[in-house]
Structure 1
């Protein structure tokens, strides 16, 4: 028997976990058909693409992120630059979480590396508004559910997830609260003041972009979640020359630079916020 296609494998996997889905248009429960349609009883239907993902967008959206950006992001992730952060996130996910949603997952590298650190098998779902990112995720990471979608109209049933990841991405706290199970946790990662400081110093010297504060973000997080834990992770790593343009492409700090940037090391300075939802 030949190898099952990505679409066929995704249909089987999504059928197995179809109870996670709720129609982004009418919020009714959804069913995954044998021929790859994800549909609700009101006949709103979304097709699983040949690459193995499903597009749940209900209105057109043009992403500012290119396929090239996500390829660069994956190369940087594979270099191990964010490995200490990913290991720390996995520690907070813990061994009790069975369903994990990564919001703003991009090309899926963070989610893939984090679940590879876990002892248990999990149902891993990634959602991003950028089709280019989700196409890349589906290409490289199988046995996961990849969705193009908007958190303002998300395709998931309430109280479906034990853990939600929100890594360097905008938050939607109302939707996070809806999607988390009782006692579920949100893990949010935000930049700290020295994040990518080598780029900031060269590109934005003597401007407000040279420094960064996340005090307001942290306070807002604490308003929405209980039993908040915080951990700051800071380290500086050597940066191989061929990764410099890749890093500059994947971070908004590197966009539209008017000067050349010279880097032989880079600082990662991130804060992990972990909060619990109580229904």
Structure 2
């Protein structure tokens, strides 16, 4: 009976310790919100080197202004997250962009629509760049630094959205990218935003609010990062040995009780 009691108390102790640790993680979660610096951390580049940026953060697919200027456009933005406290774990990270308008080309002009269904992707950029009027399709920083690949150097898509409604937020889950930057596994050059189906035969356009274009700062791009405490399990050989011994004692007690019952039964029979 004592063995069962000790074993039960040990299980309760271990379970309680784990529960307290997990509860501590939840209670210590903290959310940080970042916004980009407009002067050099937001840019738009069009698929030519004659025009670079427009005021909103624009993603356009398929429309051509004339025979020489295809207007597939890609947005670029980055956030300085160096102020995040060290020694924590990135639980989640979300990129928010506010849709100020969506459009379709009718052959003569852009026509406003209430919504579009385009696949807009975010890609982690792997070459440093300078925003505003210095980023072009061929140049990461005009005129001194070219992209390795015209249109930007970036990894496969981190995340995507498939529906854009004017006056609402689009949200991308970018936890893995932010985790890599936070842990120092890769440099933070931000994201490139593009339409999956560039060069569409019909022109489509999604405009996201930048720092101040149409609405206030509260509608500008946001990066929301949730940090939690790291859960470090420390191996304790003494505790493990103690637990194994308790289990062995319990097994012995069970066998001993069976033997006692057998002897008693045999004695009664005789």
TM-score category (smaller protein): under 0.3
Larger proportion of strand? 2
Q: TM-score, normalised by structure 2?
A: 0.20
Larger Rg: 2
Q: TM-score, normalised by structure 1?
A: 0.19
RCO higher in 1 or 2 (8 Å CA, sep ≥ 6)?
2
